[in-house]
Amino acid sequence: MPKRVLTTESGAPVADNQHSATAGVGGPLLLQDQHLLEKLARFNRERIPERVVHARGSGAYGYFEVTDDVTGFTHADFLAEVGKRTEVFLRFSTVADNLGGADAVRDPRGFAVKFYTEEGNYDLVGNNTPVFFIKDPLKFPDFIHSQKRDPFTGKQEPDNVWDFWAHAPEATHQVTWLMGDRGIPASYRHMNGYGSHTYQWTNAQGEAFFVKYHFKTNQGIRCLSSEQAAEIAGKDPNSHQTDLLQAIERGVNPSWTLHVQIMPAADAADYRFNPFDLTKVWPHRDYPLQRVGRLVLDRNPDNVFAEVEQAAFSPNNFVPGIGPSPDKMLQGRLFAYADAHRYRLGVNHTQLAVNAPKATTADNYGRDGLMATNAYGRERKNYEPNSYDGPAETGRPLSAPLAVTGHTGTHEAPAHTKDDDFFQAGELYRLMSDEEKSRLVANIAGGLSQVSREDVVEKNLAHFHAADADYGKRVEEAVRALRED
């Protein structure tokens, strides 16, 4: 069988791929060496802007299989019958560090699932924690700036991290999660995933429900101590990537069981706290977990750049039967995620293989732009309505409408009877064993004791005191002991 011929990008055969063209033996290079210039120019452009958050990631393909009937709550087609399977792509990630950061670090983990459904792609963008640090997207850029590398020192600074949290009491719940035993997962396979936000489901009768997603790992929860993580990160910065890749290659396919909490839409207005507040969970005694199906990963990407780095998840990619809620953080992300991908990958990023629909075909009037592959000509008009049998609207909304009243303005969220920034953080603390509490306190004190300003330390201590008296006392004593050393 003849060897394949190496060519330039224009298809011309390459005569010599070992030596550049020169002006005589040992002479300077020639500008006319098109093959050399093409290779260097492409090499200079091989990288694209990395994600500002969730830069360091891993991913895999698999399927989602429905195991329980949920048609009373949503008419989403991919959830329409028990046994139905839908192809998925799942991307895991750390949040704060850059693309070259280590996997085994104390940081939330992204858990983003793309369902390639017959009604279009549905993107569920979440984390491995059910809550987050803030509840308003206006604060998100400031929060991330405080967690990123300082512009002067070039590294993450405890002063910045804890100063932001000192001014964000609503972060106390997530800080308690992050500094606790689940703050460093042993691998992506051994952690849960959560939709985190509140979403809306609508059934065939038009009834609306608010839902929260819980992906429970079937491998069991496994986490690392700070000491174990430091050792692993030093030996293999790619530890989570290595584990996921090798497990699937061995046929040990990780899986998660999807449960949802379901709240009738009418309950939301009078619930004891704001059900759309991302810093809070819904107690299971109020809205128990209901099983939906099973998510399995069984195939590694062939090209990490093409399929993991270029994977684009947008929480505004809904399908019929699923829609947004008034969750302010979700509302902000409906714009921000898609806009980030337009910047990083271009306006036609949805045509890339990992992002394009697989079980249906995108059919719209988007045309042209950088790297367009759908530049239709004479056979397709690019306006609507038209008289040429172009795609037309259905008139059927994807989800139920959300009622709005009042005047425009920069309002605080409506107050509910039990809205509080600290109560759930205290409940989480009180659920822990004494050993878990000791590790939590040590993790918090290790960072907070490094803060240079006493007023920032005091503000943070006040948050832990407000969550639980014992919690605050133990953190304060541990911080004082470390600062006096």
d(CA 41, CA 35): 10
Residue with tokens 């929860």: 221
Q: Which of 121, 127, 160, 348 is catalytic?
A: 127
pLDDT at site 363? 87
Res 283 pLDDT > 70: yes
pLDDT at site 181? 96
Residue 406 pLDDT grade (very low, low, confident, very high; cuts 50, 70, 90):
confident
- Please give the average per-residue pLDDT across 127-152, as a whole number: 96
- Please give the average per-residue pLDDT across 362-379, as a whole number: 80
- Stretch among 37-41, 215-219, 404-408 having the lowest mean pLDDT: 404-408
Bridge partners (DSSP) of residue 113 are 90, 124
What percent of the chain is modeled with pLDDT above 90? 86
Res 12 pLDDT > 80: yes
pLDDT at site 472? 97
Single pTM value for the model = 0.94
Range of 2-16, 213-227, 394-408 with top mean pLDDT: 213-227
Residue 381 pLDDT grade (very low, low, confident, very high; cuts 50, 70, 90):
confident
Which of 91, 68, 120 has its CA nearest to residue 361? 120
- Please give the average per-residue pLDDT across 369-383, as a whole number: 79
pLDDT at site 288? 98
- Stretch among 74-78, 168-172, 234-238, 390-394 having the lowest mean pLDDT: 390-394
Res 338 pLDDT > 90: yes
Res 384 pLDDT > 90: no
Q: Could you check whether the bond before residue 151 is cis, i.e. omega within 30 degrees of 0?
A: no
Q: What is the pLDDT of the chain when averaged over all its residues?
A: 95
pLDDT at site 151? 93
pLDDT at site 378? 73
- Please give the average per-residue pLDDT across 390-409, as a whole number: 87
Tens-place pLDDT, residues 92-110:
999 999 998 999 999 999 9
pLDDT at site 51? 95
Residue 253 pLDDT grade (very low, low, confident, very high; cuts 50, 70, 90):
very high
Q: Establish whether 44 is a catalytic residue.
A: no
Q: Establish whether 54 is a catalytic residue.
A: yes
Q: Which of 54, 75, 214, 341 is catalytic?
A: 54
CA distances from 67 to 85, 213, 292, 302 (A): 10, 15, 6, 30
Residue 375 pLDDT grade (very low, low, confident, very high; cuts 50, 70, 90):
low
Res 374 pLDDT > 80: no
